Amino acid sequence: MRLRARRPLAFGSALLLLAGWAGANPPVATTGPYQVRVDRLVLTWHYNQMAAPAPANANVARRTGQLFLSVSPNDAAAAQRLWAVTLRDVVVGDAKRSVAIESHGNALDAPPDDVIRAVIYLPNLPLWADRIRQLSGELEGFERAEVVRVRFAFRGGTPEPETEVGGVRVVVRSIEQRERRATVRMAAYAPPGAQVVSPTADQTWGVRIVGEGERVSRAVAGTVATKPDGSAEFTVTLQDVPARPESLEAEVLLRSGRRVQYPFRLTDLPLPVRPR
């Protein structure tokens, strides 16, 4: 592991000292078709005074931490099925004692990709602890995942309002076009118990407008709002929109079937020492 210390930073009435490590051989746990590892750990010491640098006998109010986890699927299909990581138990300690501590922030921060990441916040790390003895949790995924492709034909200059493919209903809310640029607003509705997400990491949902001579627009930005029922509303900005559009196309990743849990456990992670 490589220790990295940073100089003190003063904010408000407290002084912060930060240190972290990013190991060349980080702890790894294999569960099902996934590997879970701690990529990075950053600790922050919060002091009850203003000073730069902090004296050795400064009163430390508390210590917090951020764990950066990565999940590496064995293949693209496993990446598509995965949807959540939950941390169940964080136990810290030293040579004499151990204690379970609080943690927050278990959501995955990206759609399907080669490596999926999550950030875990530790709001109260005991000052006496010198290692994380155990970090356990579970990954949760769906039994199946498939990319559903939809196509809306243009009629009279506007696309059809909605279509349904493979149990997924997709609705075109609006298209606002100015010269060669367009903003497309759409919604996708999953069957009961299923979930729809973007199959692309940039949240553009494979949206494109195809015109005469196979001229195709280019997606440059996308945003999404997911719903508790598994549906999603998304907005995509397109450039180079054909002058005579023939169809609007999109892709939706449908996750369905039973939920599958993959427990994992990482042990013995040394905590960085306090910078001087």
Give the predicted TM-score (pTM) of the model: 0.78
CA distance 257 to 144: 6
* pLDDT at residue 61, as a whole number: 73
Q: Which residues contact 214 (CB under 8 A, 6 or more apart)?
A: none
* pLDDT at residue 163, as a whole number: 95
* pLDDT at residue 10, as a whole number: 41
**Contact assessment for residue 142 and residue 255, using Cβ atoms and an 8 Å cutoff:** yes
Question: Hey, what CATH topology would domain 144-257 get?
Answer: Immunoglobulin-like (2.60.40)
CB neighbours (10 Å) of residue 147?
Answer: 14
Tokens 């940039």 -> residue: 202
What sign does the CA torsion over 118, 121, 127, 132 have? negative
Residue ranges in the chain modelled with pLDDT below 70: 1-24, 48-60, 106-114, 275-276
* pLDDT at residue 56, as a whole number: 53
* pLDDT at residue 11, as a whole number: 39
CA distance 109 to 103: 17
**Contact assessment for residue 236 and residue 248, using Cβ atoms and an 8 Å cutoff:** no
* pLDDT at residue 2, as a whole number: 32
In degrees and rounded to multiples of 5, residue 214 shows phi and psi of 60, 25
CA distance 18 to 99: 23
**Contact assessment for residue 236 and residue 201, using Cβ atoms and an 8 Å cutoff:** no
Domain span(s) for CATH 2.60.40 in the chain: 3-143+260-270, 144-257
User: 3-143+260-270: which CATH architecture?
Assistant: Sandwich (2.60)
* pLDDT at residue 18, as a whole number: 55
**Contact assessment for residue 235 and residue 183, using Cβ atoms and an 8 Å cutoff:** yes
